[in-house]
Amino acid sequence: MKVRAIFFTLIIPIVVSGQIHKKKLSNGAGTMFGYIGYMMSAYGESNINFVGDGYDFTLSDVRATDEVSYESFPDEVRPSIVLPEITIKAGYYFRNYWAFALGYDRMRYVMDDRNDVRINGAIDPLLVSNSPWYGIYNGDPTVTDRSTFHYENDELNFIKAEIIRTDMVYHVGYNNEFVITSNVGIGLGGIISRTDFNYEGIHNRGTVSFSGFGAMLTAGLRFEFFRHLFLQSNVHGGFHKQFNVQARHVETSGASMNHFYGVGSFDLSIGYLVYIRPINACDGCPIW
């Protein structure tokens, strides 16, 4: 009996320790992750207020896409390759199932040409030259023409902080060689815009400003391979409030825009998991 007791006293802790040591979960406390991916965006209609020297007017029901606008570049500097919309994120599970993450989304907001809109406000013909509109407007219908009026954010940079909940949906293998997890989260952050604005016969490109803030809900699936590499797809929905889009360089007349609009996007990303702190607190090294 004494021999058997000694045997179980020595063996059972070793077996249990070995089993615990293998149990490192991608959604467990102490896990880090990062990914980069390609994204596509869509925007709801909005009412954009334009304010500058000699004008203060609003265009209602403006439509926009994330399409590249080659017309915004002169022929001599027109790029052969346009930077894609991307998403980058890095996060850390501060407790089981829950992670804090910092993310960056580079999107584009391009006002459609031939927009059927309504215009409200005032434009002084004595101060604003080469304008397609002048006078006082009260909901008058009009159609935009990009040769005389165009607005876009060729870079709409959304920098955000997120809280994410991750749950295991499916797994294969003793060591979780293949895992599917669900991910839902909420993010808040600021917007830095790079603006292209053509109005009054003046075409300014590349005006950068901190222009507003946004909020986003995210839901997606993560497909993990061999506990480290993963592919992830997400859908996002939320809003942007841009209240101070600067559209003119300092050497020209001032101009700013503000508007509120809904945002939807989809991304497909590739990433990596790093187990910084094993959940059994055994003082082991990080699992890279």
Structure tokens at 271: 């990433």
Pick the CATH number of 26-275 from 1.10.3720.10, 2.60.40.420, 2.40.160.20, 3.40.50.720: 2.40.160.20
Q: Tokens 């965006």 correspond to what residue?
A: 41
Q: Tokens 């797809």 correspond to what residue?
A: 233
96 contacts: CB under 8 Å, gap ≥ 6: 25, 27, 28, 29, 279
H-helix or E-strand spanning residue 213: strand 202-225
- In whole angstroms, give the CA distance from residue 159 to residue 155: 12
Q: Is 9 helix (H, G, I), strand (E, B) or coil?
A: helix
State how far the alpha carbon of 127 is from the alpha carbons of 135, 136, 142, 256, in Å: 11, 14, 21, 17
Q: What is the pLDDT of residue 107?
A: 95
As a whole number of angstroms, the longest Cα–Cα distance in the chain is: 106
Any idea where the domains of the chain sit in the sequence? 26-275
Structure tokens at 95: 């407790």
- In whole angstroms, give the CA distance from residue 231 to residue 233: 7
Going by their DSSP bridges, the two strands 31-43 and 46-52 should be labelled as: unpaired
Structure tokens at 134: 């002048």
Q: Check if the beta carbon of residue 214 is closer than 8 Å to that of residue 191.
A: yes
Q: Tens-digit pLDDT profile for the chain (288 aa)?
A: 555 554 444 444 444 444 444 567 889 999 999 999 999 999 999 999 999 888 999 999 999 998 865 555 555 445 555 678 999 999 999 999 999 999 999 999 999 999 999 999 999 988 888 888 989 999 999 999 988 999 999 899 999 999 999 999 998 877 778 999 999 999 999 999 999 999 988 888 889 999 999 999 999 999 999 989 999 999 999 999 999 999 887 655 678 999 999 999 999 999 999 998 654 444 444 444
Encode 58-82: b = buried (16+ Cβ within 10 Å), e = exposed: bbeebbbbbebbeebeeeeeeeeee
- In whole angstroms, give the CA distance from residue 43 to residue 244: 19
Q: Check if the beta carbon of residue 223 is closer than 8 Å to that of residue 231.
A: yes
Closest CA to 168 of 20, 22, 24, 25: 25
What spatial distance separates the first Cα and last Cα of the chain, rounded to whole Å?
Answer: 44
H-helix or E-strand spanning residue 18: helix 2-22
